[in-house]
């Protein structure tokens, strides 16, 4: 039985997964968080946003029944019951996480942790004297917070992705600044619930910082605009002036000046490091970030860091795997994480999801790549669900037909992407997929259809579309 002890600072997805894995490996584990278990993902990010997206999508689906002669009467939307249901869901999930930690004999402490040395921390909790703890290793999983430039004025109707869910009413006009995945998801959710939404992005396309979604940006913008959203790309917000406690005047670089009663800043996130006193542990930052090796170990051997603090993919499921990699290394086992093989998902509607190599990455690796598409417009299941926007786009080796990666834009893309993820892990070829019997009618058939195209004998020019 191992006698090693581990302190984990941060109770989000990464810290939680690491705590349970370490407990299974018989480490003595203390998990410290200054807020509720679950971190930003559960309490202010992933789960609340997907809750609102789910409700807005259900509403849109119900209203579309009118096309089939089924009339749905919508009086009005009350945000209060939605917030209450969301809060009840979060409470249930937190209780389950706390129970899992308790069952695993993980010690839970609430407070703000600061380093005293590479093995010792001090915990400050309200109405309690400071408590010092020492351990063989310390894992940092403190996550990140939304960026709010100091140039923006203070206003009760200025929100970020953490605070937007504290609204007590639906804004009649919500402006979302930032067309990354957070901005797109929240714009989609509030527009679906009935708010007028203006989405502003300074780059030429939505999702501009994620090259794997290059082909998805235009489709999302087209879908958003079709539903009545205003989307401005190549546009900057030049001035924000509070009119009163409920209204703002906004001036944009495209010449537009208008009023809105809510502004959501979706401008990225910054690592939570400021309160940790990392210099006392001998840690230093490079370009504002901690540097780790493949085992998530920092320059101080007893300290590990995961998630938004260090990850090239700041996603909840990535942090969870990184936590397991760090714990494995601490117990003498070598594990690794291959970032391209992890699904990246965007929960707008239409959804978008990607995994594996992009076409550019495959070319840089010296691969002769071909790209095959299957459009949802040809899918009977997508047609009957009235969700025909988007496509499957699959990359494969032109010679061996081995699957290298892909992008799905359209219905249930965030679920279907795991067919591709499993194919990558198993090293499947297009032939293996084509020889598998897929049920009909299903959305998954699109994978098989795209792979059937990969087996055609048409010549493929470099960078061409098969």
The DSSP bridge pattern shows strands 262-265 and 158-160 to be parallel
CA atoms within 13 A on the CB side of 462: 7
CA atoms within 13 A on the CB side of 331: 23
How far, in whole angstroms, is CA 415 from its chain's centroid? 14
229: helix, strand or coil: coil
Tokens of 92: 């249930």
125/138 Cα distance (integer angstroms) = 19
Tokens of 130: 């400071």
- The CA–CA distances, whole Å, from 301 to 35, 138, 187, 312, 329 equal 27, 10, 43, 21, 11
- 10 Å CB burial of residue 337 (0-12, 13-18, 19+) is middle
DSSP string covering 137-189: EEEE---EEE---TTSPP-TTEEETTTGGG-SS--SEEEEE--SHHHHHHHHH
DSSP string covering 322-349: HHHHHHHHHTT------GGGS-EEE-SS
Give me the catalytic one of 375, 401, 412, 440: 440
Tokens of 269: 């996130």
372: helix, strand or coil: strand
Q: State yes or no: is 173 an active-site residue.
A: no
Which residues belong to the active site?
A: 440
């Amino acid at each position: 039985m191992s006698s090693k002890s581990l302190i984990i600072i941060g109770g989000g997805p990464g810290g939680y997964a690491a705590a349970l894995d370490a407990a299974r490996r018989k480490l003595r584990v203390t998990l410290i968080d200054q807020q509720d278990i679950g971190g930003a993902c559960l309490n202010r990010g992933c789960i609340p946003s997907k809750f609102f997206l789910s409700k807005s999508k259900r509403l849109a689906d119900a209203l579309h029944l009118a096309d089939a002669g089924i009339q749905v009467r919508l009086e009005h939307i009350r945000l209060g019951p939605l917030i209450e249901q969301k809060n009840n869901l979060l409470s249930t999930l937190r209780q389950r996480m706390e129970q899992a930690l308790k069952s695993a004999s993980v010690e839970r402490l609430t407070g703000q942790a600061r380093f005293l040395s590479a093995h010792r921390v001090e915990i400050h909790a309200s109405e309690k004297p400071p408590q010092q703890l020492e351990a063989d290793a310390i894992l940092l999983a403190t996550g990140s917070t939304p960026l709010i430039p100091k140039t923006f004025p203070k206003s009760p109707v200025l929100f970020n992705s953490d605070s937007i869910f504290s609204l007590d009413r639906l804004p009649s006009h919500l402006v979302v600044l930032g067309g990354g995945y957070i901005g797109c998801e929240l714009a989609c959710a509030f527009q679906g619930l009935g708010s007028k939404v203006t989405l502003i992005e300074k780059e030429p396309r939505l999702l501009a910082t994620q090259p794997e979604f290059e082909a998805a940006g235009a489709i999302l913008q087209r879908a958003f605009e079709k539903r009545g959203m205003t989307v401005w790309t190549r546009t900057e917000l030049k001035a924000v002036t509070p009119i009163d406690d409920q209204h703002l005047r906004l001036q944009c670089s495209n010449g537009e000046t208008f009023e809105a009663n809510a502004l959501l800043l979706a401008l990225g996130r910054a690592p939570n490091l400021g309160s940790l006193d990392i210099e006392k542990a001998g840690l230093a930052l490079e370009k504002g970030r901690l540097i780790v090796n493949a085992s998530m170990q920092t320059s101080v051997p007893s300290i590990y860091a995961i998630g938004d603090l260090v990850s090239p993919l700041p996603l909840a499921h990535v942090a969870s795997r990184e936590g397991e990699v760090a714990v494995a290394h601490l117990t003498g086992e070598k594990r690794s994480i291959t970032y391209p093989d992890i699904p990246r998902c965007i929960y707008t509607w239409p959804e978008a999801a990607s995994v594996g190599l992009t076409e550019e990455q495959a070319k840089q690796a010296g691969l002769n790549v071909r790209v095959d598409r299957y459009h949802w417009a040809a899918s009977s299941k997508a047609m009957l669900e009235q969700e025909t926007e988007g496509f499957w786009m699959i990359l494969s080796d032109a010679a061996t037909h081995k699957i290298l990666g892909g992008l799905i834009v359209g219905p249930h893309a965030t679920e279907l992407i795991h067919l591709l993820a499993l194919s990558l892990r198993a090293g499947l070829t297009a032939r293996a997929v084509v020889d598998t019997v897929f049920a009909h009618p299903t959305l998954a058939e699109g994978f098989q259809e795209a792979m059937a195209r990969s087996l055609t004998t048409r010549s493929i020019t470099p960078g061409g579309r098969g």
